[in-house]
Amino acid sequence: MSLWVDKYRPRSLDDLHYHAGLSARLRSLAASGDFPHMLFYGPSGAGKKTRITCTLRQLFGPGAEKLKIDQRVFMTPTKRKLDVNIVQSNFHIEITPSDVGIYDRVVIQEILKEIAQTQQVDLNARQRFKVVIINEADSLSRDAQAALRRTMEKYMSNMRIILCANSTSKLIAPIKSRCLLMRVAAPNTAEMQTCLQYVAKREKFDLPPEAAEEIIQDANGNLRKALLVLEALKMQSPDLTGPLAIAKPDWETYCNKVADMIVQEQTPSRVMEVRAKFYELLSHCIPPTVILKTVAERVVERVDESLKADVMHWAAIYEVRMRVGSKKIFHLEAWVVKIMSLYKQFVFGFSMDDFEA
Amino acid sequence: MFLKPQTTKAAPKHTVDPANQPWVEKYRPKTIDDVSAQEHIVAVLQKTLTSSNLPHMLFYGPPGTGKTSTILALSRQLFGPDNFRNRVLELNASDERGIAIVRDKIKNFARQTPRAQTVASDGKVYPCPPYKIIILDEADSMTQDAQSALRRIMETHARITRFCLVCNYVTRIIEPLASRCSKFRFKPLDTSSTSLRLQHISSTEQIPVSLPVIDTLISVSGGDLRRAITYLQSASRLSSSTSPPTEITSQDIHEIAGVIPNPVINSFAKVLGVDIIDDSGMDVDDGGRAKGFDAVRGKVKELMREGYSASQLLSQLHDLIVPHPTLSARQKSQCAMVIAEADKALCDGADEELWVLEVALKVHKFLA
Ligand SMILES: Nc1ncnc2c1ncn2[C@@H]1O[C@H](COP(=O)(O)OP(=O)(O)O)[C@@H](O)[C@H]1O
Ligand SMILES: [Mg+2]
Residue B3 clears pLDDT 60, i.e. is over it: no
Q: Are residues B236 and B110 in the same domain?
A: no
First to last CA, chain B: 64
Q: How far is A169 from chain B (nearest CA, A)?
A: 6
Domain for residue B10, yes or no?
Answer: no
Q: How confident is residue B67, by pLDDT bands cut at 50, 70 and 90?
A: very high
Calculate mean pLDDT across residues A233-261.
85
On chain A, the residues whose CB falls within 8 A of the CB of B94 are 109, 112-113, 146-151, 154
Quick: pLDDT tens for A61-99: 998 889 999 888 888 877 888 888 889 998 999 988 878
Neighbours of B340 (CB within 10 A): 12
Best A58, A157, A303 residue to mutate vs chain B (most B CBs within 10 Å): A157
Burial class (CB in 10 A: 0-12, 13-18, 19+), B141: buried
The answer to whether the bond into B244 is cis (omega within 30° of 0) is: yes
Q: How far is A111 from chain B (nearest CA, A)?
A: 8
Nearest to A181 among B5, B237, B258 (CB): B258
- Name beta bridge partners: B90: B135
Q: Rounded mean pLDDT of B276-304? A: 77
Residue B249 lies in a domain: yes
What is the Cα–Cα distance from A299 to A262, expressed in whole angstroms?
8
The CATH architecture that domain A250-356 belongs to is Up-down Bundle (1.20)
CA distance B92 to B142: 9
Helix (H, G, I), strand (E, B) or coil at B286: coil
3-state secondary structure at position A85: strand
pLDDT band at A178 (very low <50, low <70, confident <90, very high): confident
User: What is the residue range of B174's domain?
Assistant: 18-185
Minimum mean pLDDT range among A32-41, A112-121, B52-61, B115-124: B115-124
Q: Please give the Cα distance from B258 to A134 (Å, whole number).
A: 19
Q: Is the dihedral of CA B140, B227, B345, B275 positive or negative?
A: positive
- Indicate if B128 and B274 belong to the same structural domain: no
Q: B226 contacts in A (CB within 8 Å)?
A: 177-178
Distance between alpha carbon A305 and the CA centroid of its chain, in Å?
A: 31
B142: nearest Cα among A251, A195, A146, A129 = A146
Residue B65 is given by DSSP the state S
Using the predicted structure, report yes or no on whether residue B6 has a pLDDT greater than 70.
no
Residues B171 and B201 in one domain: no
Q: Do the Cβ atoms of A114 and B3 come within 8 Å? A: yes
Domain check: are B202 and B349 in the same one?
A: no
User: Is the separation of the CB atoms in A311 and A318 below 8 Å?
Assistant: no
**Do residue B247 and residue B328 come from a single domain?**
no
Name the CA dihedral angle for B336, A165, A50, A290, rounded to a multiple of 10 degrees: -80
Same-domain pairing of B133 and B227: no
When CB atoms are compared, the residue of A36, A46, A320 closest to B345 is A320
Element containing residue A108 per DSSP (H, E): helix A104-117
What residues does each domain of chain A span?
Answer: 4-183, 189-236, 250-356
- In this structure, which residue's CA is closest to atom 24 in ligand 1? B28
Q: Is B181 helix (H, G, I), strand (E, B) or coil?
A: coil
Q: Give, for ligand 1, the residue of B225, B227, B229 to mutate: max count of ligand atoms closer than 8 Å to Cβ.
A: B225
CATH code, B332? 1.20.272.10
Q: How far apart are CA B331 and CA B112, in angstroms?
A: 66
Tell me: do B166 and B31 sit in the same domain: yes
CATH number at residue B68: 3.40.50.300
pTM, 2 dp: 0.82
Query: Considering its fold, how many domains does chain B have in total?
Result: 3
pLDDT at B2 over 60: no
Q: Any idea what the CATH number is for the domain that residue B241 is in? A: 1.10.8.60
Q: Are residues B55 and B25 in the same domain?
A: yes
Q: Which of B368, B91, B65 is nearest to B190 (CA)?
A: B65
Q: In the CATH hierarchy, which top-level class contains the domain A4-183?
A: alpha beta
Question: B1 lies in a domain?
Answer: no
Exposed, middle or buried by CB within 10 Å (0-12, 13-18, 19+), for A117?
middle
Q: What is the pLDDT of residues B342-359, one digit of tens each?
A: 999 998 889 999 999 999
B117-141, pLDDT tens digit by residue? 666 677 778 888 888 899 988 888 7
SS3 A28: helix
Length of chain B: 368
Q: Cβ contact (<8 Å) for B242 and A324?
A: no
Which 146-205 residues of chain B touch chain A by CB within 8 A? Answer: none
How close B282 comes to chain A (CA, Å)? 31
The whole-number pLDDT of residue A113 equals: 83
Atom of ligand 1 nearest to the CA of B67: 21
Tell me which residue of B132, B148, B140, B169 sits closest to B56, measured CA to CA.
B132
Query: Are B285 and B224 in the same domain?
Result: no
What ipTM does the predicted assembly reach? 0.88
In angstroms, how far is the first alpha carbon of chain A from the final one?
Answer: 64
CB pairs under 8 A between A and B: 192
- Give the separation between CA B197 and CA A193, rounded to whole angstroms: 48
Looking at the domain assignment, is residue B127 inside a domain?
A: yes
